[in-house]
Chain A
Amino acid sequence: MSDLLAARAQMALSLGFHIVFAVIGIAMPMLMVIAEGRHLRHGDSLDLQLAKRWSKGTAIMFAVGAVSGTVLSFELGLLWPEFMHFAGAIIGMPFSLEGFAFFLEAIFLGIYLYGWNKVSPRAHLLSGVFVMLSGTASGVFVVCANGWMNTPQGFELDAAGKVIAIDPVVAMLNPAAFPEALHMTIAAFQAVGFAVAGIHALALLKAPSSALHKRALAIAIGVGGVAALIQPLSGHQSAVHVAKHQPVKMAAMEAHWDTHKGVGVVIGGWPDEDAERTDFKLEIPYLMSLLAFGDPDAEIRGLKDFPRENRPPVAVTHIAFQIMVGCGSAMAGFAALFLLLWWRRKALPTDPLVLKIIAAMAPLGIIAVQAGWTVTEVGRQPWVIHGILRTADAVTPMPHLQIPFLAFTALYGVLGFVAFALLKRHVFATLTPAETTTAGKTDEAAGAVSP
């Protein structure tokens, strides 16, 4: 493994690890606030119990998210000092704003988690709302900085290649910022909604009468389902954006080699980068031209239009894109059916088959988030700043980068394992016999929840 590859692997590992905890930190507050808000309005102690249980799981996840995020802020320099040397001043603004958002998130999370008996119920709920808003804002700011790496603007280069005429506001509000931030924010609620719903579906399979788990499932699938239904619209907007601003990335996502008119959408397929063709694919004719440019005959540039040294790894980008779209479509389709069934029956569907499907779908959102970031990041290669700075030129001169990579891999492996083991213990600790009996009595209340 070369030093460059080790640096990229460490960055990918750190981002992939952090993003799981980051989306939980963004979306869990919404679930808790819904439960707690219901409690304030209806006075049902079940909602309060649920909010408290969720807050314990969130505390574990948030701590791991906070420290792994710290690692990332340093790693920008530890692994890519030339990138930060070049770009630090240009993209400092979203990071400064993110700093404040993170401050507020951490402060109000402290109040939320430890202040149950110390502040009024209203102030407590409001703290949860602040955690949700600042968590979302902090994610949005970071994604704005990533957007700039895809569509850099707000600066000029002089004859010597030195950065001049920086406009940090223009840089932050780059064209990729909005579509990326929207797509990621919805993804956070979708992924966490489905993951939480899956966990409670599993619990319901073991204890079918637990009102607590029914309520939890209702709230989680409500949030995740709505997000899953609107996500395809945001995904479409993102694709249109990429087709316009990063045609080479689009071509890699679709494994599209030859420039021509009336391009179809590729389903499946194995890109052969040496032979410059995609084997074993299904194609829906004209669809890609129609989706990307609103015209079934639109011409779309293929990979062969770009010199090999400027192409991203096609197979990884294409397959990751397929995985993301596949997971997203499955979730959207299921959400539509489930919400329809819920509305028709006027009661939460908890048939064993439905619960099993929900449980099986639990990881799809997180997988889609990982795949989506793989598309964004690998699809931008060989550039760290699209068209401006190559990843190979940004890496640290530090030798033996395999060592920190292995060390962080081991560290994150252990932390991930422990965090999820603890979470599992928390969730299934609720399945004590005593609880299932008492919970059974409030079944009526849970059945009344509607979307």
Chain B
Amino acid sequence: MTDVLLSPAGLLGLVLVAALALYTLTGGADFGGGVWELLASGPRKNKQRDAISTAIAPIWEANHVWLILAVVVLFAGFPPAFAAITTALHVPLVLLLMGIVLRGAAFTFRSYDTGPGQAERSARWSLVFAISSTVSPIMLGVCAGAVASGQLTIDAATGRVQTDFISAWLAPFPFAVGLMTLLLFAFLAAVYLCVEHRGTALADDFRTRALASGVLLAPAAGLAWNLSATGAPAIRAGLAESTWALPFHIGTGVFAMGALVLLVRRAYRKARLAAAAQAVCIVVGWALSQFPYVVVPDLTLTAAAAPDNVIVTMLVILAVGAIPLALAFRYLYAIFARA
């Protein structure tokens, strides 16, 4: 396993997983904010919505780029995998894109609307923003579930994916993963918002929401595990047997419990750390469970990889680019960390 991981393709695979993990922690939480916009309630309903807007506005576009980076790494580093995924999962990907477009556009339209009738239009955009923020994570999870399911088989003669465009994703297992993704994103958003409003009544609102979504994650994960018996047998074997993945699955459980306990005790900063660790464990654990496959069951990292020189060039670009990027992100988050 280490030989593959330390090969150029393996290292680029790590970058892909890292980009997805970072997208979960940042862009995922922005979607989660939209979920709480939809479910805003109680005496501080409007304050909750304002808090969500203020938190997301300056950073959502930058956070969103992690997804684009993941897509670029996939199509440049593993072109057959990208072709297979985009062909077989056309429908959920189009729904995901529509959600992404509507989410970003509605959010911005609402923020920058002026003039007469602004209040009614704002309510309408708010609803579009909230619904698209809920649909997109489900579709993202559905795609991830379908990639893991083992349904995207490759015709050895043509090198193309064999698909009826529907059955790989319109199945219980991918939707269980979709539900898990939605809950995870919502959980992260609620925990972050607790930190940003600690010491106020708003923090209690978001604490309740964080606890609810955090607790619900457990049965959702259980459901996905149950369905994987028929829905994604190869992954199930990986989940259960891979010695590499095991620590991450244990980590998921430990950090999940930790985050909930810390939320109960209102130790929000520590809870945020635990929740982030939990999310990273879920993403990495998933990746290791389907290792060495990019798309189960035919495309391994090695089989799908572009030639080594291409991947090495990409790795150099990524390594060099990561430095200014990290500094810029640090600066961005530092400026907007707390009003």
Cα of A407 to Cα of B104 in the assembled complex, Å: 17
Interface with A: B31-39, B230-238, B274-282, B329-337, which one?
Answer: B329-337
Q: Using CB atoms, name the residue of chain A closest to B118.
A: A425
| B309 adjacent to A60 (CB under 8 Å) | no
Given A59-B108, A74-B86, does the pair A95, B306 have CB atoms closer than 8 Å?
A: no
Within 8 Å CB of B114, what residues of A?
422, 425-426, 429
Interface membership of A315, Cβ < 8 A: no
Task: Tally B residues with Cβ within 8 Å of A.
Answer: 63
Within 8 Å CB of A86, what residues of B?
79
| B64 adjacent to A110 (CB under 8 Å) | no
| A76 adjacent to B75 (CB under 8 Å) | yes
Bitwise interface map of A from 418 to 436 toward B, beta carbon under 8 Å scored 1, else 0? 1100100110010000000
Interface membership of B67, Cβ < 8 A: yes
Interface membership of A294, Cβ < 8 A: no
| B101 adjacent to A68 (CB under 8 Å) | yes
Given A70-B100, A88-B76, does the pair A115, B58 have CB atoms closer than 8 Å?
A: yes
Cα of A168 to Cα of B316 in the assembled complex, Å: 13
Interface of B is mostly: helix
Cα of A71 to Cα of B68 in the assembled complex, Å: 10
| B336 adjacent to A92 (CB under 8 Å) | no
Q: Tell me which of B84, B107, B165, B336 contacts A63 (CB under 8 A).
A: B107
Q: Tell me which of B97, B307, B314, B335 contacts A96 (CB under 8 A).
A: B314
Bitwise interface map of A from 58 to 89 toward B, beta carbon under 8 Å scored 1, else 0? 01101110111111011011100110111111
| A103 adjacent to B313 (CB under 8 Å) | no
Interface membership of A339, Cβ < 8 A: no
| B86 adjacent to A71 (CB under 8 Å) | no
Within 8 Å CB of B62, what residues of A?
103, 106-107, 110
Q: Tell me which of B58, B82, B112 contacts A111 (CB under 8 A).
A: B58
Q: Tell me which of A62, A104, A119, A398 contacts B87 (CB under 8 A).
A: A398
| A85 adjacent to B80 (CB under 8 Å) | yes
Q: Using CB atoms, name the residue of chain B closest to A83.
A: B83
| A108 adjacent to B112 (CB under 8 Å) | no
Q: Which residues of B, 40-97, contact A by the 8 Å Cβ criterion? A: 57-59, 61-62, 64-65, 67-69, 71-73, 75-77, 79-80, 82-87, 90, 93-94, 97
| B93 adjacent to A110 (CB under 8 Å) | no
| A63 adjacent to B76 (CB under 8 Å) | no
Within 8 Å CB of A167, what residues of B?
309
| A84 adjacent to B86 (CB under 8 Å) | yes
Cα of A397 to Cα of B161 in the assembled complex, Å: 10
Cα of A223 to Cα of B4 in the assembled complex, Å: 53
Q: Using CB atoms, name the residue of chain A closest to B102.
A: A411
Within 8 Å CB of A84, what residues of B?
75, 79, 82-83, 86
Given A66-B104, A89-B76, A118-B336, does the pair A60, B313 have CB atoms closer than 8 Å?
A: no
| B321 adjacent to A100 (CB under 8 Å) | yes
| B67 adjacent to A67 (CB under 8 Å) | no
| A70 adjacent to B307 (CB under 8 Å) | no
Q: Tell me which of A82, A411, A422 contacts B109 (CB under 8 A).
A: A422
| B83 adjacent to A96 (CB under 8 Å) | no
Interface membership of B267, Cβ < 8 A: no
Q: Tell me which of B57, B71, B83, B314 contacts A81 (CB under 8 A).
A: B83
| A93 adjacent to B112 (CB under 8 Å) | no
Interface membership of A113, Cβ < 8 A: yes
Q: Using CB atoms, name the residue of chain A closest to B59.
A: A110
Within 8 Å CB of A106, what residues of B?
61-62, 64-65
| A166 adjacent to B75 (CB under 8 Å) | no
Interface membership of A278, Cβ < 8 A: no
Given A96-B76, A425-B114, does the pair A411, B101 have CB atoms closer than 8 Å?
A: yes
Within 8 Å CB of B321, what residues of A?
96-97, 99-100
Within 8 Å CB of A100, what residues of B?
317, 321, 324-325
Bitwise interface map of A from 161 to 176 toward B, beta carbon under 8 Å scored 1, else 0? 0001011110000000
Given A89-B307, A118-B336, does the pair A104, B325 have CB atoms closer than 8 Å?
A: yes
Given A71-B97, A95-B76, A169-B313, does the pair A59, B90 have CB atoms closer than 8 Å?
A: no
| A89 adjacent to B310 (CB under 8 Å) | yes
Within 8 Å CB of A396, what residues of B?
86-87, 90
- Closest CB-CB distance, B219 to chain A, in whole Å? 32
Q: Tell me which of A64, A92, A411, A418 contacts B314 (CB under 8 A).
A: A92
Q: Tell me which of A73, A82, A169, A399 contacts B68 (CB under 8 A).
A: A73
Interface membership of B318, Cβ < 8 A: yes
Within 8 Å CB of B329, what residues of A?
107
Within 8 Å CB of A93, what residues of B?
76, 310, 313-314, 317
- Closest CB-CB distance, A434 to chain B, in whole Å? 16
- Closest CB-CB distance, A225 to chain B, in whole Å? 29
Q: Tell me which of B73, B94, B103, B310 contacts A78 (CB under 8 A).
A: B94
Cα of A110 to Cα of B333 in the assembled complex, Å: 10
- Closest CB-CB distance, B102 to chain A, in whole Å? 7
- Closest CB-CB distance, A236 to chain B, in whole Å? 33
Cα of A111 to Cα of B82 in the assembled complex, Å: 33
Which are the 7 A-B pairs with shortest beta-carbon distances?
A92-B76, A77-B86, A88-B79, A89-B306, A63-B108, A114-B58, A81-B83
Q: Can you name 30 A-B residue pairings with CB atoms under 8 Å? A: A60-B108, A63-B108, A64-B108, A74-B93, A85-B80, A85-B82, A86-B79, A88-B75, A88-B76, A88-B79, A89-B306, A96-B72, A96-B314, A99-B68, A99-B69, A99-B321, A103-B325, A104-B324, A104-B328, A106-B62, A107-B329, A107-B332, A168-B310, A168-B313, A397-B87, A398-B87, A415-B101, A418-B109, A419-B109, A425-B113
- Give residues in B with beta carbon < 8 Å to A: 57-59, 61-62, 64-65, 67-69, 71-73, 75-77, 79-80, 82-87, 90, 93-94, 97-98, 100-105, 107-109, 111-115, 159-160, 165, 306-307, 309-310, 313-314, 317-318, 321, 324-325, 328-329, 331-332, 335-336
Q: List 13 other contacts, CB 8 Å, given A70-B64, A73-B68, A100-B325.
A: A63-B105, A69-B68, A74-B86, A74-B97, A84-B79, A96-B317, A98-B72, A104-B325, A106-B64, A107-B62, A110-B61, A113-B58, A418-B105
